[in-house]
Chains A and B, each alone.
Chain A
Amino acid sequence: MSERMTRAQVPLEERGLTPGSACQGCGAALAARLAFKALGPNVIRLMIPCCPDTMTNNPLVVGVFEGGGAHLSGISRGLKAINRTDIKAVGFFGDGGTYDIGFQGLSAAAERNEDILVITKDNEAYMNTGNQRSGSTPQYAMTSTNPIGPRSRGKARPKKNIPMIFAAHYVPYVATASVAFPEDLIAKVTYAKGVEGFRLIIIQSPCPVGWRYSPEKTIEVSRVGVQSGVWPLYEVVDGDKFKLSYKPKELRPVSEYIGYQARFRHVTDVEVAEVQERATSNWEQLLKSDELGRLLI
């Protein structure tokens, strides 16, 4: 498990290359900036098709969309073969490359416990191509392929619980993080960097364009997502040991989180209540696991 970090411990050195090509208020650009501060120079970064975030001063390999986990495994195996285990193979993927098209290879890499670190900037849709739905899009969100109409209330089904799916591969480390909690995010990446085996960190990365809120609200949206239990922060070690990273005394209502985002502007009170119920019951389950220190699935 990661150790609590203070702001003073956050590395000062920036690895991002400017100017970047991300949109204003891009959560993913911030996620990359923070994550690579923690990773430092001795990594090979694998990029697969995704939104532009923050390019960093690290060796960059660009690979096929569907092959993130597999390609990263190859880089890691190759580094072992040339006796350079000091260099870490790190993938910085989007949700499409993690939840959808890249899922098979990533699941298999987890099953083989490949020595790789995968960081996913989760903006909950194919934002690079213009906000089409992905397996990560939450229920009722409007996307360009889930328009609202007589036959559609936005996306029909909830998002995949991808951190728990990977925890169920019994891998050394799975964590969730948020750009609104930078010390926690950096602490988790720092911990994951030193672990051998398969590691996955999913970072909630709000997208002002796709989620439809004002760019200056990224941190607020992200924070309320965590505080309402929609995006709980936690760590799972070996698919078993469990710890909540952030436990508000009381959850804020999910309506606050939803209210920021025009992708949900069509939702009814009944639909909000449904989302609330799922968030609450999931939170209660996580609290129980946290109490036990063991994951109850």
Chain B
Amino acid sequence: MSSEVIVGNKACATGVKLARVQVASAYPITPQTTITQYLSEMHANAEFDFDFVNVEGELTAQLIVQGASRVGARTFTCTAGPGLLYMHHPMQETGTWRLPVVMAVVHRGYKGMQPDHSDLMSQQWTGWIHWYVEHAQEILDTVLMAYKVAEDMRVRIPVALGYDGYVLSYTAEPVDIPSQETVDAWLPPNKALPSILPDGYDARKFMMELMQMLGGGDPQQAWRSHHEAIVGSEQVLRETMDSFEKTFGRRYGNGMIETYMMEDAEAAIVAMGTIAGSTRAAVDDLRSDGKKVGLIKLRSYIPFPETDFQEWAERVKSFAVVDRSICPGKGGPVFNKLRSTVYNVEERPDILQFHAGLGGKEVRIGDLYSVGEKALKVAEGGTVESLVEWV
């Protein structure tokens, strides 16, 4: 193990290298670009044995990894904002064919180039696992965990790993880099799905298997099994987090969520990505002022940690959800999902919606302090002017 001060994109590329990815492909787009440069340098300098394909657009990048994953290679791609939208169609196929592709999404919004979560949130229906991470160390560690979960035979689902552009991609932080031997021992090579290779191939048998995979004549079954595999990945992520800690000595909550100062909290701020980082500082300030507010960092948006939130709903009196994206006319995705998740909890808490950091708008620790104050006020039986607020 060594420790280096590196930017988020370097941490990501380092994770790709440690995971011994075999085929990577990407198209440059700010703020993801330097990942493609780091990978190109690693390829040019033969730092590890992999194929890096510099392509003419994101659609092709997604298809290169899809094709390579079909025959069993471990693959990686990365993009941001508009590039992710351009991948939308083949992403559906990567999901449908249950290919364990891992993709980093370095958040960039659509109304300008600054970060928000509208890029990855817009891809909810593509049938991928969606995780959001907070800092450079977590990027590297989560890349490794992504392969472990995606390639698990119980899952076989692609993973999109989102982190905030600029704030993380171009900001240097100290990162512990595990040794290659440790990673190799923890992360075995991907297993090929043999059915697509011509060895002993029988078209009729293959067609039968395909039909089976696509629901055995029931078109709805294909959606059901896809959905159930993603929901089932929650258990695999929890196991993976435990084994990751045993090997590497670090953990991020239970994998689905990570909590901070929640033990005796009356109100919880729910946040993702780098805003979760700022919220830690706001919680420290709230606590030093005697206010019992904690943080629930949402790591896995898909699958959504339903049982975790149902449990916390019984323990706190209010949730303040900070959404860094919005479905215009419908509202914040995390707020809406969380509210429906806790609907059946008998004494469910109040839930406040805060829109923050959209279009890269700065979210200060003071802003989050005030979010916490409002949540606490509601928790203590007080009222606020509106359940929805733009920070």
Whole-angstrom distance between the Cβ of B258 and the nearest chain A Cβ: 35
Instruction: A80 to B53: give the CA distance in the assembly, Å.
Output: 13
Of B70, B197, B198, which one neighbours A74 at CB under 8 angstroms? Answer: B70
Identity of the chain A residue whose Cβ is nearest the Cβ of B50 in the assembled complex: A81
The reply to whether B201 and A57 form a contact with Cβ atoms under 8 Å apart is yes
Contacts of B57 in A (CB 8 A): 104-105, 108
Docked complex: B18-73 residues within 8 A CB-CB of A: 22-23, 25, 50-51, 53, 55-57, 59-60, 63-73
B223 at the interface (CB under 8 A from A): no
The reply to whether B201 and A41 form a contact with Cβ atoms under 8 Å apart is yes
Of B56, B197, B203, which one neighbours A55 at CB under 8 angstroms? Answer: B203
The reply to whether A64 and B203 form a contact with Cβ atoms under 8 Å apart is no
The reply to whether B70 and A78 form a contact with Cβ atoms under 8 Å apart is yes
The reply to whether A108 and B23 form a contact with Cβ atoms under 8 Å apart is no
The reply to whether B59 and A70 form a contact with Cβ atoms under 8 Å apart is yes
Q: A74-B66, A82-B71 are in contact. Are A59 and B197 (CB under 8 A)?
A: yes
Interface 1/0s, chain B 187-219, versus A by CB < 8 A? 000001001111001111010000000000000
Whole-angstrom distance between the Cβ of A249 and the nearest chain B Cβ: 44
Taking residues whose C-beta sits less than 8 angstroms from the other chain, chain B's interface range is 35 or more
Contacts of A66 in B (CB 8 A): 59, 89
Instruction: A111 to B59: give the CA distance in the assembly, Å.
Output: 16
Instruction: A17 to B107: give the CA distance in the assembly, Å.
Output: 47
Identity of the chain A residue whose Cβ is nearest the Cβ of B196 in the assembled complex: A59
B178 at the interface (CB under 8 A from A): no
Residue from B68, B73, B75, B206 with most neighbouring chain A CB atoms (10 Å): B68
Whole-angstrom distance between the Cβ of B188 and the nearest chain A Cβ: 15
Instruction: A46 to B68: give the CA distance in the assembly, Å.
Output: 13
In this complex, how many residues of chain A approach chain B with their Cβ under 8 Å: the count is: 40
Instruction: A72 to B89: give the CA distance in the assembly, Å.
Output: 16
Contacts of B90 in A (CB 8 A): 63-64, 67, 71
Instruction: A124 to B203: give the CA distance in the assembly, Å.
Output: 29
B93 at the interface (CB under 8 A from A): yes
Instruction: A73 to B52: give the CA distance in the assembly, Å.
Output: 12
A144 at the interface (CB under 8 A from B): no
Of A17, A63, A75, A104, which one neighbours B68 at CB under 8 angstroms? Answer: A75
Instruction: A56 to B57: give the CA distance in the assembly, Å.
Output: 32
The reply to whether A80 and B63 form a contact with Cβ atoms under 8 Å apart is no
Whole-angstrom distance between the Cβ of A15 and the nearest chain B Cβ: 9
The reply to whether A75 and B71 form a contact with Cβ atoms under 8 Å apart is yes
A76 at the interface (CB under 8 A from B): yes
Instruction: A75 to B71: give the CA distance in the assembly, Å.
Output: 7
The reply to whether B198 and A73 form a contact with Cβ atoms under 8 Å apart is no
The reply to whether B67 and A71 form a contact with Cβ atoms under 8 Å apart is yes
A23 at the interface (CB under 8 A from B): no
Q: A61-B196, A70-B63, A87-B197 are in contact. Are A78 and B203 (CB under 8 A)?
A: no
List 19 A-B residue pairs with CB atoms under 8 Å apart, sorted by A's residue number: A17-B204, A43-B198, A59-B196, A63-B63, A63-B90, A63-B93, A64-B93, A67-B89, A67-B90, A70-B63, A73-B60, A73-B64, A74-B64, A75-B70, A77-B51, A104-B57, A105-B57, A108-B60, A112-B53
Q: A71-B66, A73-B67, A104-B60 are in contact. List 10 more A-B contacts (CB 8 A).
A: A61-B70, A64-B89, A74-B25, A74-B66, A75-B68, A78-B73, A78-B75, A81-B50, A108-B60, A112-B55
